[in-house]
Amino acid sequence: MKKVHPAVVGAQPFQLADHRPVERLFEDVEGRDRLEKSLSRYPEKKGALLPMLAYAQERNGWVSPEAMEEIAEALGLSPAYVRSVATFYTMYAKRPVGRYWIQVCTCISCHVNRGEEVFKSFLEHTGTRAGEVSDDGRYTVIEAECLGACGFATVVQVNDRYFENVTPETVPEVLEQLERGEPEA
Amino acid sequence: MGFPHSHELEVGTILSRHFGDPKARELETWLTYGGYEGLKQAVGMDPGDITTVVKDSGLRGRGGAGFPTGLKWSFMPQEKTGPHYLCCNADESEPGAFKDREILRWVPHLLIEGCLIAARAIRAEHAYIYVRGEYFPFTSILNDAVVEAYEAGYIGRNILGSGWDCDLTVHIGAGAYIAGEETGLMSSLTGGRAEPKIKPPFPAQSGVFGKPTTVNNVETLAAVPMIVVHGSDWYRQWGTEKSPGTKLWCCSGHLVRPGNYELELGVPLKNVIYDICGGAPDGKKIKAVIPGGSSTAMLTADELDVPSTYEGLQEAGSSLGTASPIVLNEDTSIVRAMRRIPATCRPPG
């Protein structure tokens, strides 16, 4: 079990290539530990909602309706409320996504640095359509809102990693790096 | 200094001096750079006196609105009837801005120190740092620093043996532009949709969990330790009467040397774009500049000879915002470029 300090328990990377799926989130030692530590950081149980949605995705790769129900029960909220919150945020996957969730920034600074061409290049090289999981389950490519790295356009986020100064021509290199599991330069 | 480029016109205070130096993330090294000296002073100070120093320095909120920081702190109740909270806004969602990420990435202990000093000034027992979800690599750096600071007694119970307790929690969002707005941020922090609320009530009356709260930007809080250490007059050696100090710039778009630069407030915008960032690449002319991030009014190339202060850009019909100029060259379709901004704020599928 990964040991996590209570101060940062709600700030763990939750978009990952590899998952450790569980049927019930809070029935193992790790799940209970995360829940208890999160609850200890907020004066109301509801404060732990975003950390627990993130934890569900960290474990399972997405936030399933069953996970939402379990979180609702643990925090004393209605499943409908939990769903209303989960659906507000774009990074919680409400259905399974590819192993590599590729988010290409096409906002203004990336737009003027060929962001849309980079996006198209990812679609071509992965053989997918926007937002769909590739046939081999490896890729999902979407356009993202500004990723906050505008001086390094075009910016691409893949799971918990940033790739910067990406051009349509360097897209194959990014995909190769992902497959080799190498850290970015 | 700036990252990834630097320039002789830069000031280079503790805010940016260690950008690019991974050792600065480690507490042991950070202490040799003067880290936590401001906190050591602040724990022995009366909260009101901390607020006075920051008020006198003229520091203005670096999240875009430019509201005087010390004045904001003074709105918090002077007598406590329940918990107070500090929220550090590290959501950085304004297209064009990428300075908070560099602070998280290179000098996380500076931010932690700023949060603790501010928490003491507003009599808060808990500080939350709300980081946008996308920033995983930088959040992980911050997380390591927070754990290190807890273990060394800079956060938690009886901080530096002063008898003062303050907790700090890192909380991450999950993709929502609007969580950068302070009432949206507070909704999100308390387990809700990041929908903004109409004020009043103001956060100082009823904020996070219905308690008095102050929300400050990352760069604002990171400027606080040096002000406490060196004093308000020292900070006022830079900038103008109404816009004192230094500012981290985020320069992007069509530029030869895009990136972050720490500059004295008041440097003409023209110099930032042409001298410091080298103008547009490939000998192209510049058509327009959005000076302060995507929500500020665009200026044409012949309107750039203005001092980059809050008042200077206001007179020019725009705003300093987060000092995040987005530069567009002569080949750019302004219509297409502008359409990207609302388009990417719309959630996918």
Among all residues of chain B, which has the CA nearest to that of A41? B169
Alpha carbon of B37: minimum distance to chain A alpha carbons (Å): 23
B265 and B240 Cβ atoms separated by less than 8 Å: yes
Residues B193, A54: C-beta atoms closer than 8 Å: no
Contact residues on chain B for A7, CB-CB shorter than 8 A: 146-147, 150, 155, 167-170
Residue A88 CB-half CA count within 13 A: 23
Virtual CA dihedral for B230, B182, B208, A62, nearest 10 degrees? -120
Interface check for A151 against chain B (CB to CB < 8 A): the answer is: yes
Asked if B203 and B160 touch (Cβ cutoff 8 Å), the reply is no
Q: How many CB atoms lie within 10 A of CB B319?
A: 19
Closest to B168 in 3D by CA, of B116, B222, B224, B225: B116
Is the bond leading into B137 cis (omega within 30 degrees of zero)? no
Per-residue confidence (pLDDT) for residue B299, from 0 to 100: 98
Cβ atoms within 10 Å of B222's Cβ, excluding its own: 29
pLDDT at B343: 79
Residue whose pair of structure tokens reads 């081999």 in the numeric block:
A136
Residue from B86, B93, B134, B206 whose CB has the most chain A CBs within 10 Å, to mutate: B134
Residues 6+ apart with CB under 8 A from B31: none
DSSP of B21-88, one letter per residue? Answer: -GGGGSHHHHHHTTTTHHHHHHTTS-HHHHHHHHHHHT-B-TTTT--BHHHHHHTS-SS-SS--EEEE
On chain B, the residues whose CB falls within 8 A of the CB of A8 are: 143, 146-147, 169-170
Residue whose structure tokens are 């330790």: B225
- Find the closest chain B residue to A10 by CA distance: B171
CA–CA gap between residue B276 and residue B282 (Å, rounded): 16
Number of CB pairs, chain A paired with chain B, less than 8 A apart: 197
For position B341, what pLDDT does the model report? 87
CA atoms within 13 A on the CB side of A29: 4
Which residues in chain A come in under a pLDDT of 70?
182-185
Which residue among A85, A109, A145 sits closest to B193, beta carbon to beta carbon?
A: A85
Query: What pLDDT was estimated at residue B347?
Result: 58
The C-alpha atoms of residue A183 and residue A177 are separated, in whole angstroms, by: 8
What is the distance between the alpha carbons of residues B145 and B223, in angstroms, rounded to a whole number? 18
| A48 lies within 8 A of chain B by CB | yes
Beta strands in chain A (DSSP E): 100-105, 139-144, 156-158, 161-163
Torsion of CA A16, A17, A21, A27, to 10 degrees: -20
Say how far residue A107 (Cα) sits from the centre of its chain.
19
* SS3 assignment, position B262: strand
Question: Which residue in B191, B188, B171 sits closest to B128, CA to CA?
Answer: B171
**Measured between CB atoms, which of A14, A92, A150 is closest to B96?**
A150
pLDDT for the residue A3: 86
Collapse the DSSP code of B223 into the 3-class scheme (helix H, G, I; strand E, B; otherwise coil) and give the result: helix
**Of B132, B147, B171, which has the smallest distance from its Cβ to A10's Cβ?**
B171
pLDDT at position A185: 43
CB contact under 8 A, A145 and B93: yes
- Looking at residue A176, what is its pLDDT? 95
The 8-class DSSP code of residue B275 comes to: I
Tens-digit pLDDT string for chain B (349 aa): 788 999 999 999 999 999 999 999 999 999 999 999 999 999 999 999 999 999 999 999 999 999 999 999 999 999 999 999 999 999 999 999 999 999 999 999 999 999 999 999 999 999 999 999 999 999 999 999 999 999 999 999 999 999 999 999 999 999 999 999 999 999 999 999 999 999 999 999 999 999 999 999 999 999 999 999 999 999 999 999 999 999 999 999 999 999 999 999 999 999 999 999 999 999 999 999 999 999 999 999 999 999 999 999 999 999 999 999 999 999 999 999 999 988 766 655 4
- The pLDDT assigned to B312 comes to 97
Helices (runs of H) and strands (runs of E) counted in chain A: 7, 4
Using a CB-CB cut-off of 8 Å, the residues of chain B touching A91 are 133-134, 173-175
Instruction: Indicate the SS3 state at residue B184.
Output: helix
